[in-house]
Amino acid sequence: MNILPYKRRVYYYETDKMGIMHHSNYIRIFEESRVFFLQQVGMPFEMIEASGILMPVLSVECRYKRPLRFDEIFFVYPQIISFTGTRLSLKYRVTDEHGDLCAEGSSSHCFTDTDMKPLRIKNSHPKIYDVFAEEYNYL
Amino acid sequence: MNILPYKRRVYYYETDKMGIMHHSNYIRIFEESRVFFLQQVGMPFEMIEASGILMPVLSVECRYKRPLRFDEIFFVYPQIISFTGTRLSLKYRVTDEHGDLCAEGSSSHCFTDTDMKPLRIKNSHPKIYDVFAEEYNYL
Amino acid sequence: MNILPYKRRVYYYETDKMGIMHHSNYIRIFEESRVFFLQQVGMPFEMIEASGILMPVLSVECRYKRPLRFDEIFFVYPQIISFTGTRLSLKYRVTDEHGDLCAEGSSSHCFTDTDMKPLRIKNSHPKIYDVFAEEYNYL
Amino acid sequence: MNILPYKRRVYYYETDKMGIMHHSNYIRIFEESRVFFLQQVGMPFEMIEASGILMPVLSVECRYKRPLRFDEIFFVYPQIISFTGTRLSLKYRVTDEHGDLCAEGSSSHCFTDTDMKPLRIKNSHPKIYDVFAEEYNYL
């Protein structure tokens, strides 16, 4: 499926005294782009949570290349890099409006029920499994 | 009861490109001080929530006098300014380490059950009512 | 001038354990809408700061009517409610996608140079003065 | 040198709708602990910045083991894991009050002047170099 990048501007309150977007906010824009991505593949986050699945974050990482400044437009390109039915990993590329790389990162997630017990969604939620598997195989 | 002020330093990520603590963070430090205050009066927030009471915020306001900078120590002095059994209001004074006023504000709250339905805690939770009433009358 | 409302969705990290957008974030979305507003009236924030003017926040307040939930679309309608050349005040209405009121608030600002000394922008920056005066009189 | 861990509680606004501390905040508490660490080794962040050095973040990563909940006390143990005079890396362990591991991560940094040009601080700022080298060798 052809996924649109996530786009927005840097908010004033996201800058720090160095005058750049604080590095912690990249972890947040990864999440924003993940939500937009899931919406596009037809599996909005609310639908996932409504079906009793939580997707806690197991790990995140980010490498910073070029700082973003206040009100600068940026794009985030999320992509599934692995999916096993018990775990999901995505990578993210952040670019400025000229397409220059600003940051790269990734996140990995597991699937749990609302009591935070691990789920094998192939069995428990096959439709959600299929969406992730299809999107993963597409790439 | 003699209430201790809430004390901490300004975090780097709380500064903005003007080099000062972003104004939105004062609403957050009011909340931090409120939690510390409730703990001191013997009614920790978790205990309130465990008894099935939520305290949604009805309004907040803040007037800024002197900006706080990175790593600066500040104090927040919360105080109950009204309590009716259905509503609670607090004011907050923020000072620097010399006691100079940096900001002043207030917040008002109601009491609801976990479905966000209003509660008259005098009837539903008399022990919690008494704690607030006593603290209010003390002042 | 016909000002477009500011529109976006609630981010996951903006929710709190009550499952609603944390009240402090409304102060941040007021700022986001202010930046968008200034862009529309032809006086982007960067242009203001590039001309040596800072607009520190003197006060903010917000009254909460109906909580916003994760991924919910909302609109912010900012409007200048007073402008004197030394001070600027705006009010903000936040609605959900059905137009129902979620929150209302306001902010007031002064104008300073980069050393935080007050400016009378009618004299120091007449073009910026005219933009605010025109927008204020329009309403 | 014997470094004290950084200690605080989880704030209400740091929780998300899962009822746990949002994962992005761990990157922020790493920074908080880094500032406390630099203070303890006699090289407070303000002193570093006052000497014309910025320490931009090159990368961060975090692995989440056990979620922290509202008002829970946690500790962060930062430690220098590499120092070359042009780069500095730290790792961080986050534990709850029983010493159980909640998260682990790391950050790497370079040294630049205020125009973001790289610095070899062994030559440019030998006293700051010595502090980091000593702390690194100690461990």
The Cα–Cα gap between B106 and B92 comes to 6
pLDDT of residue D116 exceeding 90, the answer is no
Residue with tokens 């409302």: C5
Positions in chain C whose pLDDT score sits under 70: 1, 139
Residue D126 neighbours by CB under 8 Å, 6+ apart: none
How confident is the model over C50-78, as pLDDT tens digits? 999 999 999 999 999 999 999 999 999 99
Q: Do D32 and B44 touch (CB under 8 A)?
A: no
Question: In CATH, what number does A6-138 get?
Answer: 3.10.129.10
pLDDT at D37: 96
Tell me the residue ranges of DSSP E strands in D10-86: 57-64, 73-83
pLDDT at B139: 58
Domain extents in chain A = 6-138
Q: Which amino acid is it at A45? A: F
pLDDT of residue B20 exceeding 70, the answer is yes
pLDDT at C139: 58
The alpha-carbon radius of gyration of chain B (Å, integer) is: 16
Chain C residues touching residue D70 (CB < 8 angstroms): 17
Q: Decide: helix, strand or coil at residue C115.
A: coil
The Cα–Cα gap between C95 and C16 comes to 20
D89 phi, psi to nearest 5 deg: -125, 140
C29 phi, psi to nearest 5 deg: -75, -25
Chains that touch B (3 or more CB pairs under 8 A): A, C, D
Residues of C serving a catalytic function are 16
The Cα–Cα gap between B78 and B95 comes to 12
pLDDT at A56: 94
Which whole number is the average pLDDT over A98-112? 97
pLDDT at C116: 87
Residue C108 neighbours by CB under 8 Å, 6+ apart: C57, C58, C59, C82, C87, C88, C89, C90
* D contact set with A (CB within 8 A): 18, 23-25, 27-28, 31, 54, 56-64, 67, 116
Count other C-beta atoms under 10 Å from residue C115's C-beta.
7
How confident is the model over D32-57, as pLDDT tens digits? 999 999 999 999 998 998 999 999 99
Global pTM? 0.96
C86 phi, psi to nearest 5 deg: -115, -20
* A contact set with B (CB within 8 A): 12-13, 15-17, 19, 22, 24, 70
